[in-house]
């Protein structure tokens, strides 16, 4: 699952229920992985959630193995991006996050999503996301995805899994390689049969 990051301003509802409104993602901005959320990219996912009576999960740091920090009550796409209303739960983590958010100590959000439709724009040099399936929205420390992606890969490898081709390509591109260079490396990578060692990846000077 991929991620898009943004800095956000959280607006408290003022009802004492730790409710808030924020943007989980903003459109038409090139992120660190050269991905751009295009107009309408959330529409199908939002409609599907409405049809099922569900909403994306609300996490801290994309940690799907931990308990949610609250819930998302409403989700919509406006002219700016993915706007949502959420409520932090009255747990230790929920209370801590609310205090930190109100103090502007935590000011970034990120969405976790699966790609349904994308297109590489060779003229502008970025990847257009036209349709994505939004799975979760997370509070994060930094609007920058290298460390989060690396941690996801380390966690997956700890239980015997390996990164997908897309995850590896993003990791290489985030580390400074061009799309062509990253794709050349990934063309020799077969995740179903290969085991990739992060020490080998570090040989590309991604983490210096």
Specify the higher pLDDT residue, 94 or 170.
94
| CA–CA separation, 111 and 74 (whole Å) | 15
pLDDT at 4: 52
Q: Which residue has the tokens 């943007």?
A: 23
Q: Give the residue from 119, 147, 145, 143 showing the smallest Cα distance to 131.
A: 119
Specify the higher pLDDT residue, 90 or 5.
90
Domains of the chain, residue spans: 2-143, 151-202
Q: Give the residue from 58, 63, 67 showing the smallest Cα distance to 22.
A: 58
- Per-residue pLDDT of 75-113, as tens digits, reads 999 988 898 888 999 999 999 998 888 777 887 888 889
Cα 207 to Cα 4, 89, 150, 152, 173, distances in angstroms: 20, 36, 10, 15, 12
- Rg (C-alpha) for the chain, rounded Å, is 18
Q: Is the pTM of this model over 0.75?
A: no
pLDDT at 96: 93
SS3 of residue 166 by DSSP: helix
pLDDT at 20: 82
- Per-residue pLDDT of 26-62, as tens digits, reads 888 887 778 889 999 999 999 999 999 999 999 998 8
SS3 of residue 192 by DSSP: coil
What tokens appear for 201 in the block?
Answer: 């990846």
Going by pLDDT thresholds of 50, 70 and 90, the confidence category of residue 206 is very low
pLDDT at 99: 86
Going by pLDDT thresholds of 50, 70 and 90, the confidence category of residue 123 is very high
Q: Which of 77-81, 121-125, 134-138, 190-194 has the lowest mean pLDDT?
A: 190-194
């Amino acid at each position: 699952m991929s991620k898009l990051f943004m800095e956000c301003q959280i607006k408290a509802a003022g009802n004492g229920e730790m409710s808030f409104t924020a943007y989980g993602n903003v459109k038409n901005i090139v992120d660190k992985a050269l991905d751009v959320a295009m107009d309408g990219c959330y529409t199908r996912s939002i409609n599907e959630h409405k049809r099922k009576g569900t909403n994306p999960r609300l996490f801290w740091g994309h940690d799907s193995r931990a308990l949610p920090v609250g819930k998302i009550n409403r989700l919509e796409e406006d002219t700016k991006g993915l706007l949502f209303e959420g409520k932090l739960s009255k747990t230790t983590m929920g209370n801590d996050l609310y205090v930190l958010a109100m103090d502007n100590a935590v000011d970034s959000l990120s969405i976790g999503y699966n790609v349904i439709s994308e297109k590489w724009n060779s003229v502008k040099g970025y990847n257009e996301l036209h349709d994505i399936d939004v799975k979760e929205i997370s509070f994060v420390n930094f609007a920058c995805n290298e460390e989060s992606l690396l941690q996801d890969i380390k966690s997956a490898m700890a239980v015997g899994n390996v990164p997908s081709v897309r995850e590896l390509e993003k990791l290489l591109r985030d580390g400074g390689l061009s799309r062509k260079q990253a794709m050349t490396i990934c063309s020799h990578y077969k995740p179903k049969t290969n085991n990739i060692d992060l020490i080998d990846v570090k040989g590309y000077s991604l983490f210096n």
